[in-house]
Amino acid sequence: MDLKYVSTTCPYCGTGCGFNLVVRNGRVVDVAHWQRAPVNGGKLCPKGRYAHEFVNSPDRLTKPLIRKDGKFEEATWDEAYDLIAGKFRSYKPEEMACLSSARVSNEENYLMQKFARAVLKTPHIDHCARLCHASTVAGLAIVFGSGAMTNSIKDIGDANCIFIIGSNTFEQHPLIGRSIVRAKEKGAKVIYADPRYTATGKQADLYMPFVSGTDVAIFNGLMQEIIRNGWEDTEFIEKRTKDFEKLKEVVMKDDYSLENVSKVSGIPAESLKTAAEWIAKAEVATLIYSMGITQHTVGVDNVKSTANLMMLTGNMGKRGGGVNPLRGQNNVQGACDMGCLPNVYTGYQKVTEEAAQQKFASAWCCGIAEGRVGYTVTEMINVLADEPGKLKAMYIMGENPMLSDPDLTHVEHAIENLEFLVVQDIFMSETAEMADVVLPASCYAEKDGTQTNTERRVQRFRKAQEPPGEAKEDWKIICELAARMDMGDQFAFANPEEVFTEIAAVTPSYHGMSYARLDPDGLHWPCPTEDHPGTPILHTEKFATPDGLGIFSPIEWKPPAEIPDEEYPLVLTTGRILWHWHTGTMTRRSWDLEKEAPIGWIEINPGDAQDLGIKDGEVVKASTRRGSIEIPAKVTAEIKKGVTFIPFHYKEHPANALTNNALDPVAKIPEYKACAIKVEKI
Ligand code: SF4
């Protein structure tokens, strides 16, 4: 029997845990602990522990499929490539769009944006960061000059106070939860603000339940209390920041007194006072957030507020401090770094800057898409739905908008308006069902490459088995398709390492990296030279802004786009659970995970349930202005009165049939975390 262990990186959340894949006779059969894994030291959450179970699922796509007379027929790769190349050639560049994926490697993301810009010559390239942390990328870049987690996961263990808002860290990033436990063991205080009393709330010393969508008011209230008591870090403010007086003008308004913030948010004034004191007086405090902050029409404002608070208290640029957005997917940081965004090339080099355009045209030896900002994912869907004929063809790799995007009726209408859709994936997703061509791709266990975790650590994926049937590695598919479109010279890579060498050459923050240097612990970007050790803590001496100063951003609180009224009297918020991952294509095919949570539910407070005559477990009708679903009710005091919650993993109970696609004006992220809903007995 041939048995081997292959060290690699988890395909689920942005923590980036390492484990060994157990390979018997060429097939992945189990996951085993990898004691020296750099981020998690051998520990895993259930998703990582069972990450082998979907790999050899009988549902894997194994051959290209072409739709003929409304039905899929198996095809050869040549037939599929010829059809796609012919169709793509028939459209103008601005009529085509590409979606890349936060689940594939950096190398594959790099190739996808190169394919969009150099082969199709379209500026329309984006990926699912638009739906989770686009507000982080935009908001932190405005304040700090760089839109990423400022400190490392290990660092969190050195904080004396940890403020977690809008992140159920112990369920969504469980191994980051271990750093919080380490800090608690050393005496750190943990403050948790969220509409739900989650597993993370149970670890907190102070829990502050609040009404979804009131984050800016909460931050302004905390900052007013700090300034009123003279607890701000005046030395840091004077030396490292600007526009403090402008911030003060807004946060000192009566609207943001603790009493008024308490009325808006539902958090008792006494709790807000305690939180302000703990954060300000801690030797070093850190702030952790996730999509509870970002997925709002004021997502960028929320993010800037987190930065205001941590600059005010002088907690930037030091061990145990910082603003720490926890990225969702395993490689969403990398997909952003690789330029799978409509406004930047790799390393956030702006497409609108002529020097950057010339650099990439010269590096790729070809004419490239014109230097203008293309459509975001959410704009692509709106353009397709509202301006038929403007976008005609899409190439989607490893994304499933038919379950993940807001207002699914709108999304379906949009995708139906496409003339030609190519989907490259490992399973027949809800989106692939609507495609003209489906290309069978590879999962994380079937290819070499790199990924960048939430703390900006670039580390390796390693190939453990061949893809099933005729499925291929994503990087190979993109290169072969480019060659079919007469761009083979620009995509002549023999392996992912050669792609990485090109990435390092064109990306200043990755310049000093190579596969050899990434073994075994990876490197945190920026890593500008071959002898640079990487940068686990950002902004230690100056911020990445042009003058090196952090910029305070005064922000007024605005309510969500849709607030409860007589017809829709409750608030709906959505999110993930411990056992499942996003649209469930992988975790719902993992039997040890699926058996723990096989159906969806709507959480409702006992007070609201009593008013509506609803019992625990009863199937109810949940409706918003976008649609209705029938779903079992979970009556629980762990959700705030007036708020409901639905996990978005279940196609049988699709939360996104209800969510609102109102967008943040800067980041174009939708408001998944607050819309008006009614719940009725059936
Ligand atoms: Fe995987 Fe995240 Fe769990 Fe680690 S914490 S094992 S990266 S899902």
pLDDT digits (tens, 9 = 90+) for 300-332: 999 999 999 999 999 999 999 999 999 989 999
Classified as helix, coil or strand, 461 is: strand
CA 356 to chain centroid, in Å, comes to: 26
Supply the mean pLDDT for the chain. Answer: 97
Evaluate: CB of 31 within 6 angstroms of ligand 1: no
Please give the average per-residue pLDDT across 478-483, as a whole number: 98
Is residue 580 lining ligand 1, measured as CB closer than 6 Å?
Answer: no
* Residue whose C-alpha is closest to residue 487's, from 573, 365, 575: 365
What is the separation of C-alpha 36 from the centre of its chain, rounded to a whole number of angstroms? 27
pLDDT attached to residue 85: 98
Atom of ligand 1 nearest to the CA of 45: 3
Q: Whose Cα sits closest to atom 2 in ligand 1?
A: 13
Best mutation site among 7, 8, 9, 12 for ligand 1, i.e. most ligand atoms within 8 A of its Cβ?
A: 12
Task: Tell me the average pLDDT across 86-91.
Answer: 98
Q: What is the pLDDT of residues 445-469, one digit of tens each?
A: 999 999 999 999 999 999 999 999 9
Q: How much is the pLDDT for 595?
A: 97
Distance of CA 650 to the CA centre of its chain: 19
Asked whether 17 lines ligand 1 (CB < 6 A), one says yes
Distance (angstroms) between ligand 1 centre and the Cα of 49 equals 8
Give dist(CA 416, CA 435) in Å, integer.
9
- Give yes or no for a cis peptide into 520 (omega within 30° of 0): yes
Give distance in angstroms: CA of 18 to centre of ligand 1: 8
Three-state SS for 442?
coil
Burial class (CB in 10 A: 0-12, 13-18, 19+), 165: buried
* Domains in the chain, CATH or no CATH each: 65-131+330-465+473-516 (3.40.50.740), 150-325 (3.40.228.10), 570-681 (2.40.40.20)
Separation of CA 40 and ligand 1 centre (Å): 9
- Are the C-beta atoms of residues 94 and 116 closer than 8 Å to each other? no
Residue closest via CA to ligand 1's atom 4 equals: 17
Is residue 280 within 8 A of residue 118, CB to CB? The reply is no
Q: Which secondary structure element, helix H or strand E, spans residue 637, and what is its range?
A: none
47 ligand 1 Cβ < 6 A:
yes
For 217-266, write each residue's pLDDT tens digit.
Answer: 999 999 999 999 999 999 999 999 999 999 999 999 999 999 999 999 99
Asked if pLDDT for residue 660 goes beyond 90, the answer is yes
pLDDT digits (tens, 9 = 90+) for 171-198: 999 999 999 999 999 999 999 999 999 9
DSSP per-residue string spanning 314-365: T-SSSTT-SEEE--SBTTHHHHHHTT-BTTB-GGG-BTT-HHHHHHHHHHHT
Cα(426) to ligand 1 centroid in Å equals 20
Please check the confidence at residue 1 and state whether its pLDDT lies above 80. no
Sign of torsion over alpha carbons 150, 154, 160, 165: positive
* Contact assessment for residue 233 and residue 313, using Cβ atoms and an 8 Å cutoff: yes
- For residues 562 and 566, give the distance between their C-alpha atoms in angstroms, rounded to a whole number: 12
Q: What crossing angle do the helices spanning 134-144 and 299-312 adopt, rounded to 10°?
A: 40
Which ligand 1 atom is at minimum distance from the Cα of 19? Answer: 6
Q: What angle do CA 138, 140, 145 make, to 5 degrees?
A: 95
For residues 650, 651, 656 and 658, what is the CA-based torsion angle, rounded to 10 degrees? -100
Q: Are strands 161-165 and 285-289 parallel, antiparallel or unpaired?
A: parallel
Other CB atoms within a 10 A radius of the CB of residue 595 amount to: 9
| Ligand 1 atom closest to residue 453's alpha carbon, by position in its atom list | 7
Ligand 1 pocket, mutate which of 7, 45, 153, 590 (most atoms under 8 A from CB): 45
pTM: 0.96
For residue 562, give the nearest of 410, 412, 678 by alpha carbon. 678
C-beta separation of 612 from 654 below 8 A: no
| CA-nearest residue, atom 1 of ligand 1 | 48
14 Cβ closer than 6 Å to some ligand 1 atom: no
Of 117-126, 242-251, 365-374, the one with minimum mean pLDDT is 365-374
- Measure the CA–CA gap between 333 and 261, rounded to whole angstroms: 34
Burial class (CB in 10 A: 0-12, 13-18, 19+), 71: exposed
Q: Which residue is associated with the tokens 């950057």?
A: 356
Convert 425-435 to b/e letters by CB count within 10 Å (16 or more is b): bbbbbbbbebb
**Distance (Å) from CA 405 to ligand 1 centroid:** 23
Determine which residue's CA is closest to atom 3 belonging to ligand 1: 45
Question: Are the beta carbons of 303 and 139 closer than 8 angstroms?
Answer: yes
Q: Is 175 in the pocket of ligand 1 (CB under 6 A)?
A: yes
Chain center to CA of 419: 29
ipTM > 0.90 (yes/no): yes
- The CA angle 97-102-103, to the nearest 5 degrees, is 115
Residue 27 has what pLDDT?
97
By DSSP bridging, strand 285-289 and strand 323-325 are parallel
- Cα(305) to centroid of ligand 1, in Å? 28
Neighbouring-strand partners of residue 643? 571
pLDDT at 557: 98
40, 156, 459: residue to mutate for ligand 1 pocket, most atoms within 8 A of CB: 40
Max intra-chain CA distance, the chain: 73
- Measured from the Cα of 46, ligand 1's closest atom is 3
DSSP tag of 64: -
